[in-house]
Structure formats: C-alpha cells, structure tokens
Chain A
Amino acid sequence: MTSLAPAAQPAPAPANPLAVAWARLWRSRRLVERNILVYRHQWIIIFSGVFEPIFYLIAIGFGIGGIVGNVPPQFVEGREISYLAFAAPALLATAAMNGAVFETIFNVFFKLNYAKTYDGVLATPMGITEIALGEMLWALFRAALYAVAMFVIMLVLGLILSPWGLLIIPAALLVAAAFAAAGLAGTSYLRTVNDFDVPMGLIVMPMFLFSGTFFPIEVYPEPVQWLVQLTPLYHAINLIRGLSLGMVGLPQLWDFIYLVAFFAICLTLAMRQMEKRLIK
C-alpha cells in the first residue's frame, strides 16, 4: 500500500498551472463515471431524495402556511409574501446542502473506510486531487438534481416572484459545492459509523432548524442572530431566498462572498485531509 500511493501521483507538472488544474479536473470525471456505474442499480437511493424537500414543502408550506397565511410584513421589507413563497427557496437551499453532504459524508466514508475504493483508484493515474474533485463533482450532480426538481416545482406553483430567480440554480450549485467540500473535509475526521452523530446531529440538523429555513431569524434575540449569521446555511438560504423574492442587495453580495470563501477554505482543507488519510 505504502509503495503504491506516491507512485500514483501524476507526473511533474507542465508550466501552466491553469492547464494542470484543468487536466486534473478532466481526469476526475473518471470517478464520476465510476459512481454512475455503481449507482445504476441503486438509483432509488439518490432519486428518492428528490421528494424530501417536496414533502416538507407540502407539509410545512401548506400545513403551517394555511395557519400562518402571510409572513409578518416587518420581516420581508413590508411586502405581502405568503408563507409558502417564504419557505420554498429555503427548502431548495437545504436540498442542495443535503444532496452534497449526504454524498460526501455517508458515501465517501463508506468508500474511504470499508470499501477501500480509493486505494484502488490511487493505483491508476488518478491522484488525491482527482479523487477529491471527482467526489465533489458527483455530489454536485446529486445536489443539482434536487435543486432543479425543487426549482421546477416552485416555478409551477408560482413561488418565484422575481426575474432574479433565474440565478437560483447557479447559486444552488455554489451552495452545493461549498457543502460538498465541507463534507469531504469533515468525513476524513470520522472513525466509526457512530461518529455520524457529530456532523449530522450537531452541525447539519441544527443548521437546518435554525438558519431561517422555516421562520425569519429576526424572531431571535440579537446575539443569537449573530451566531446564526456565522453559519454557511444561513447565507445559502438568504441568497437563494433573496433571488426568489426579488430582495437583492448588499446582504446577498455578502452571502455570495461568504460562500465562495467558505468553499475555498473547505476545498483546501479537504485536499489536505484526504491526502493525510490516503497516503500513509
């Protein structure tokens, strides 16, 4: 094992770093192809996830929305926004997050620790970078599937209230990329299946509940609001909700910058961690 891994690193790089990056990204498609082959017989695992945000939309959007009616106007710039239109873009953002983290946490953990898939991959011309990029691209596809499904439903139900809504899908891809990188970085710290409690129970679930998904964070006391504003899901929701409701301004620019920076940091960390785990 030890003798194999370093030999699997690509040959010394040509001068242009952009060309190297592209070559690696292009080579990482092989891992995506591998995942497509594997999931051909297990497509229900991925496909069933499409329905999760839709069930939430029906239950919370219609069930609770029927009681709430419109969101209290002081939370949405004094406008008349139905609760359904308020919750839907947040559910799209969380669907993008879930698609990305389910893939990079559960499935990567399994391949890393039990199936030892990557030890095999490293015996080919693919290196750590290609593995990390390949898994992230694959997670991105899964997240995109969920985001697009949700987008179509919002479109059909007339829940996209502004032409800015055209940018929802690219924004959702950014969100998915950020969470895919974060998931990949986090998974490398997990040792047993019991450790899933930590990322899911202490990070993903609380973010899902508290990031303004189902109600505006302005209902919290100030210090709690600040705390929520530190989390990536808050910015994902704020960005996508802003685009959907047509409330786009400096805060959304700030959300965008936050997500790009978060993505860059997590990507660097993910590469370093994967290298630590795979090259022993």
Chain B
Amino acid sequence: MASKVTLKRRSHNGPLISLVPMIDVMLILLVFFMVTSTYLNLDMIPAVRQQDQPAATAATPGRTGTAMIRLGADGVPVLRGQPLDAAGLDRALRDLLAGDPLAQVLILPSGSATTQALITVMDVATRAGVQRLRVIRLEARP
C-alpha cells in the first residue's frame, strides 16, 4: 500500500528582490552628483540679435543722433574726445538721451582693451537707458 507524500512549498519571507543594493546605488549616484557638480550663476548679454539686421535700423523714422564711445587699450571710455569714468559716462549718456531718447550709441573698442572693460561700458550704457547700442570694430582691408 502506497503512502501519501505531501510536498509543501516553502513560503517566502520578505521581498523577492532585496532593496539594499538599490539603496546603495542610489546613494552612490547622489554623492557623485553632489561632489562633481559645480554651480555657476551665469547671465548673458546679447551680442547679435535677430532684429539686428541692417534693414531694421535703416527703417527707423525721424532723425536720431549718434554718439560714439571709443574704448582705449587702458579700458578708459572716451566720449567726444573726453576721457570719462563710469559716473561721468553715465551722466553724459543720460544728457544725450534726455534730448534724444532714441539716440544710437556706438562703441569702438581698442583691440587691446579687455572684455571686462567693454562689458562695463555696455553695462553703463544700458543702465543709462540706451536703446540702440552697437559695438563696432575696425577690420583690416583684405
């Protein structure tokens, strides 16, 4: 006479996949991103805009004045032959804009001036309220 054999599945205790390696990997990724990231706070100043095409400026109605700021190699801006500091340039530009709010301001920098000097002058002009600001440069004829 055959006896009955009962086989029982062993019940699983706990989750099928262990979470511990996943936590390890996530912690390593977290530490990696925290350590390798450098956070830079950067802004931008447009140098070429889409509407900067020559046709757009030629279409400006009425007569508007133009002032040219020459930027020397030492970083000192010169307006109408007069070297100015930032405050003096700001005053001169505000006087100019008081008479003609759409006056065009051209900046002709020396090639030996630093980028910081140009950005500072552009900054002063923008703060003074200049709407039409352009940077021009001399180019050798080929």
> Do these two chains interact?
no
